[in-house]
């Protein structure tokens, strides 16, 4: 029996979850007693939910359990910046491969299309906004990264626009950035509201267990999952637990899990909007530098700020780390919006990003009737959605061009064990943050 010692926690005040319109609607039940299902999926984020939905379509008779340690929307899927990114999100400045990027673009759009149609069909109130996305630079030295990104978009034939100076300030309500590359296909959402809406819309053959952490596992031939006061046996097991995969003893030396942090202000009042954001539509920008700050102006008039990375092998944040992130967020917010610098942050929280060295994901069979999917590299709203969908097809022996592409790109590079991984990641982070300068 494998004990699961590292389990998800609530790291701070979860802003999207707390401000989600469906926050008080009950979703799922705690797992108690003896249960038996055909399939167990552990992890009800974007990946697990998409996997459950597709599996229920392929095998309508199967009894499927979808299990999460937290309430739906409290995990990383509900803590992110809410970008549904269509274009390859490569700011590494590597050589672009246009054909690879076109295939990724097609998969991203397939996932965005699925999410859009579910949002419409089930009327999911999640602040869905076809806002596009800016990638912006403040530092002169980071403008070259924007050019590199624009070159990659051009080579692949994707639509984009370069916006600079005054024109950019008018669109964003801040003159902080020198230039940006705007891509129109990105969608912005409240991710906790979206993931809750998707979970609520799952077919009847999927039973949802929430606030039910798996505390131990015995793998196959019939898999046994242990809970506090309960046991679940399943013929097939799929893990979609994100950064917690290593705790399940399966994905060793392929993942680096990093904490990053976000804050959300109180909504701006009418006079603040008319004085500083008059005619400005909701927007979102990532940074031209990978260690830079992500910022949004939301449809309900809040400013969202994300930056700061910490290596936390325990997979939990701490008050000290949250306080340090809050201070970084204040600095970034006040630099960009000096005219509303007094605005309070209502929420500050942390969440985990599971990184692989070459941006490949873990997408594989781990044993008899045992499958794992993880490694969304910070773009898991869309990537998790298509990986979950195609994992269900893979589990059922289906083949397609998309699945071949995913399989060919599911060979994450080897990572050294602890403590070398932690030391290497910390050194790299320090170097990156220093290079980002005023883009943090």
Give the residue at shortest CB distance from ligand FAD: 380
Per-residue x/- track, 240-279, ligand FAD (CB under 6 A): xxx-x---------------x-x-----------------
Torsion of CA 116, 45, 409, 148, to 10 degrees: 60
Q: Assess contact for 265 and 326: CB atoms under 8 A.
A: no
- The string of DSSP codes covering 286-313 is EESSTTS-EEEE-TTS-EEEEEEEEE-T
Return the number of the residue (272 or 432) whose C-beta is nearest ligand FAD: 432
Give helix 401-408 / helix 380-395 axis angle, nearest 10°. 110
- What residues numbered 27-46 form the site for ligand FAD, per CB under 6 A? 42-46
What phi, psi does 226 have (nearest 5°)? Answer: -105, 140
Candidate residues 14, 31, 67, 251; the one interacting with ligand FAD per rule CB under 6 A: 67
Q: Assess contact for 68 and 212: CB atoms under 8 A.
A: yes
Instruction: Name the token pair of 161.
Output: 């626009």
Question: Strands 223-227 and 230-239: what pairing?
Answer: antiparallel
Per-residue x/- track, 366-395, ligand FAD (CB under 6 A): ----------x-xxxxx-x-----------
145: helix, coil or strand? helix
List C-alpha distances in Å: 377 to 27, 42, 258: 28, 19, 10
Return the number of the residue (142 or 373) whose C-beta is nearest ligand FAD: 373
- What residues numbered 81-100 form the site for ligand FAD, per CB under 6 A? 81-83, 85
Region for 120 from its dihedrals, namely left if φ exceeds 0, alpha if ψ lies in -120 to 50, beta otherwise: alpha
Return the number of the residue (5 or 430) whose C-beta is nearest ligand FAD: 5
Instruction: Name the token pair of 83.
Output: 């970008």
Question: Strands 83-84 and 33-42: what pairing?
Answer: unpaired
- What residues numbered 165-224 form the site for ligand FAD, per CB under 6 A? 213-214
Return the number of the residue (241 or 288) whose C-beta is nearest ligand FAD: 241
Candidate residues 14, 31, 66, 70; the one interacting with ligand FAD per rule CB under 6 A: 70
Candidate residues 19, 35, 77, 142; the one interacting with ligand FAD per rule CB under 6 A: 77
# binding residues, ligand FAD (CB under 6 A):
42
Short-list 229, 258, 226, CA closest to 242: 258
- What residues numbered 276-295 form the site for ligand FAD, per CB under 6 A? none
Candidate residues 47, 186, 205, 265; the one interacting with ligand FAD per rule CB under 6 A: 47
Q: Assess contact for 245 and 251: CB atoms under 8 A.
A: yes
Q: Is 4 in the site for ligand FAD (CB under 6 A)?
A: yes
Q: Is 112 in the site for ligand FAD (CB under 6 A)?
A: no
Strand partners for 345? 265
Strand partners for 284? 296
Which range in 249-257, 322-330, 348-356, 407-415 contacts ligand FAD by CB under 6 A? 348-356
Return the number of the residue (172 or 381) whose C-beta is nearest ligand FAD: 381
Alpha helix segments (H runs only) across 138-190:
143-156, 165-172
Candidate residues 150, 353, 406, 436; the one interacting with ligand FAD per rule CB under 6 A: 353
Cis peptide before 221 (omega within 30 of 0): yes
Q: Is 80 in the site for ligand FAD (CB under 6 A)?
A: yes
State the number of CA atoms in the 13 A half-sphere of 400 facing the CB. Answer: 14
Which range in 168-176, 266-274, 351-359, 362-370 contacts ligand FAD by CB under 6 A? 351-359
Which range in 118-126, 323-331, 349-357, 391-399 contacts ligand FAD by CB under 6 A? 349-357
Return the number of the residue (214 or 303) whose C-beta is nearest ligand FAD: 214
Return the number of the residue (69 or 268) whose C-beta is nearest ligand FAD: 69
- Which residues make up the interface to ligand FAD (CB under 6 A)? 4, 7-8, 42-48, 67-70, 75-77, 79-83, 85, 213-214, 240-242, 244, 260, 262, 306, 351-353, 376, 378-382, 384
């Amino acid at each position: 029996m494998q004990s699961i010692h590292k389990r998800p926690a609530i790291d701070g005040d979860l802003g999207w979850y707390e401000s989600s319109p469906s926050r008080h609607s009950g979703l799922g039940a705690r797992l108690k007693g003896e249960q038996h299902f055909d399939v167990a999926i552990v992890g009800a984020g974007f990946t697990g939910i998409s996997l459950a939905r597709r599996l229920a379509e392929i095998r309508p008779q199967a009894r499927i359990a979808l299990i999460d340690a937290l309430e739906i929307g409290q995990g990383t899927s509900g803590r992110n910046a809410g970008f549904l990114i269509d274009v390859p999100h490569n700011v590494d400045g590597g050589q672009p491969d246009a054909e690879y990027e076109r295939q990724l673009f097609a998969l991203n759009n397939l996932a965005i299309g699925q999410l859009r149609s579910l949002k419409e069909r089930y009327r999911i109130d999640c602040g869905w906004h076809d806002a596009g996305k800016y990638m912006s630079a403040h530092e002169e030295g980071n403008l070259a990264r924007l050019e590199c990104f624009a070159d990659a978009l051009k080579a692949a034939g994707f639509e984009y626009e370069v916006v600079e100076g005054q024109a950019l300030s008018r669109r964003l309500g801040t003159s902080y950035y020198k230039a940006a590359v705007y891509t129109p296909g990105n969608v912005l959402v409240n991710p906790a509201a979206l993931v809750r809406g998707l979970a609520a819309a799952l077919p009847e053959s999927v039973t949802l267990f929430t606030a039910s952490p798996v505390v131990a596992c015995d793998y196959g031939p019939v898999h046994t999952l242990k809970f506090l006061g309960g046991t679940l046996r399943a013929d097939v097991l799929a893990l979609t637990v994100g950064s917690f995969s290593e705790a399940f003893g399966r994905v060793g030396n392929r993942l680096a899990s990093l904490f990053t942090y976000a804050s959300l202000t109180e909504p701006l009042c009418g006079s603040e909007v008319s004085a500083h954001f008059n005619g400005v539509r909701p927007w979102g920008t990532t940074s031209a530098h990978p260690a830079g700050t992500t910022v949004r102006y939301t449809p309900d008039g809040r400013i969202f700020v994300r930056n700061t990375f910490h290596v936390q092998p325990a997979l939990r944040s701490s008050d000290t780390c949250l306080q340090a992130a809050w201070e970084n967020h204040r600095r970034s917010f006040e630099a960009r919006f000096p005219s509303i610098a007094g605005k309070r942050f209502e929420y500050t929280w942390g969440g985990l990003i599971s990184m692989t060295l070459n941006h490949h994901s873990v997408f594989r069979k781990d044993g008899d009737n045992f499958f794992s999917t993880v490694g969304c590299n910070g773009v898991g709203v869309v990537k998790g959605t298509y990986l979950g969908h195609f994992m269900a097809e893979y589990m059922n022996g289906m083949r397609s061009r998309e699945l071949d592409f995913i399989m060919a790109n599911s060979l994450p590079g080897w990572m050294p064990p602890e403590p070398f991984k932690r030391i290497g990641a910390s050194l790299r982070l320090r170097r990156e943050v220093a290079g980002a300068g005023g883009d943090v």
